[in-house]
Structure 1
Amino acid sequence: MFFSRSTVFVALSALVATAAAAPSTLPASQCNTGSIQCCNSTQKASSAGMSDLLGLLGVVVSDVTALVGSNCSPISAVGLGGNSCSAAPVCCENNQFNGLIALGCVPVNLSL
């Protein structure tokens, strides 16, 4: 079997783009950017509704594929009963918007 270099390049490029677009899930213990957040929803910064909200708030996100959480609240004492998240548990780099939005989020597995 022989493949042209362009065919291999296109296949590898598609694989890399797919891997970069899908954020991996972290164990809760590896969240070292602050408290784990429970967000009502998470979307890419470039999505229609989220980019509009970020624009209204004057927030500039340089990575349009970054995951942004909205309507977030901190989850404390992960692993102890009573603290759960039925929406989207995430670990975010920037939680300085009073829970309205959280920037640079990565999904978190609370059971790890």
Structure 2
Amino acid sequence: MFAKAFSAATLFSILAVATAQCTTGALQCCDTVESASSPTAAGILKSIGVVVQDVNALVGLTCSPITAVGVGSGSSCTANPVCCTDNSWGSLISIGCVPVTA
């Protein structure tokens, strides 16, 4: 019974995240979200030739889009749901991210 209740609670939180409105960009699910000045993010940004003006800006690493609820694997996020202003680098990195809370 606990497992069913937990599953239902998880589903409702996923629904809340998936239906959240992003005013800054597309809704993404990122494995990691960190400052652009962190060693990992700075290394990736440098390797693709991107200079971020605000070194405190959040970037998402290994991101995938969150689609409509119930449509394939992109309908849930078990990592870090964020809205990012620049998702033009594929799944490698998303720039200008804002965490989404349910």
TM range (shorter): 0.7 to 0.9
Structure 1 regions of 5+ residues with no counterpart?
1-26
Count of matched residue pairs: 82
Given the alignment of the two structures, is residue 57 of structure 1 paired with residue 48 of structure 2, yes or no? yes
CA shift for structure 1 position 81:
4.3
- 4+ residue runs over 2 A deviation: 27-30, 32-35
Q: Identify which of 89, 94, 100 aligns with 1:97.
A: 89
Tell me the distance in 2 between the aligned counterparts of 1:29 and 1:75: 10
- Matched to 1:96, the amino acid is S
Tell me the distance in 2 between the aligned counterparts of 1:62 and 1:96: 17
Deviations 1:65-94 (CA, angstroms, capped at 9, x unpaired)? 0000011100011xx346211111000000
SS in 2 for 1:30: coil
C-alpha RMSD over aligned residues: 1.7
CA shift for structure 1 position 45:
0.2
| Identity within the alignment, % | 51
CA shift for structure 1 position 103:
0.3
CA shift for structure 1 position 95:
0.4
